[in-house]
Amino acid sequence: SAVISQKPSRDICQRGTSLTIQCQVDSQVTMMFWYRQQPGQSLTLIATANQGSEATYESGFVIDKFPISRPNLTFSTLTVSNMSPEDSSIYLCSVGLSDRPTEAFFGQGTRLTVV
């Protein structure tokens, strides 16, 4: 199994600023993902965080807006840049223990409100 610590759990930010969300796993994991859940919507994959290389972004998400780092197999950050009220969402980190179908583990989420 994997225990994920995601920080911060919530934040209220001014528009135009940036927020960095951290995801720390208690063991080395192969796959790390960042998801967004807008109010009343289902979760949507933002990107796959790749260790030692640039993240792989899904359609509709770009690196300039959501820069991601993954310096090692246990840690990743997601930055929400130049925020607007439309970025108000829950952001979730998720990991998979291998590159085959496996139980998905999630962080507790970061509830972001942009004012």
Partner 1 sequence: KNEVEQSPQNLTAQEGEFITINCSYSVGISALHWLQQHPGGGIVSLFMLSSGKKKHGRLIATINIQEKHSSLHITASHPRDSAVYICAVEGRTGGYNKLIFGAGTRLAVHP
Q: Catalog residues that contact partner 1 under the rule CB under 8 A.
A: 9, 31, 33, 37, 41-45, 48, 90, 92, 94, 96, 98-111
The least CB distance from residue 101 to partner 1, in Å, is 4
Of residues 43 and 73, the one with the C-beta less far from partner 1: 43
Distance CA 48, CA 72 (A): 14
Minimum CB distance to partner 1 smaller for 83 or for 107: 107
CA-nearest of 90, 114, 95, 91 to 106 is 95
Residue 46 Cβ, how far from partner 1 at the closest point, in Å? 11
Provide, rounded to whole angstroms, the least separation between the CB of residue 111 and partner 1. Answer: 6
Which residues, including other chains, have CB under 8 Å from residue 18's CB and lie 6 or more apart?
79, 80, 81, 82, 83
Q: Cβ closer to partner 1: 2 or 83?
A: 2
Judge whether 70 and 21 are in contact, CB under 8 Å.
no
Smallest distance, Å, CB 61 to partner 1? 13
Nearer residue to partner 1 within complex by CB, 100 or 115: 100
Q: How far, in Å, CA of 6 to CA of 94, rounded?
A: 10
**Residue 19 and residue 80: Cα distance in Å, rounded?**
5
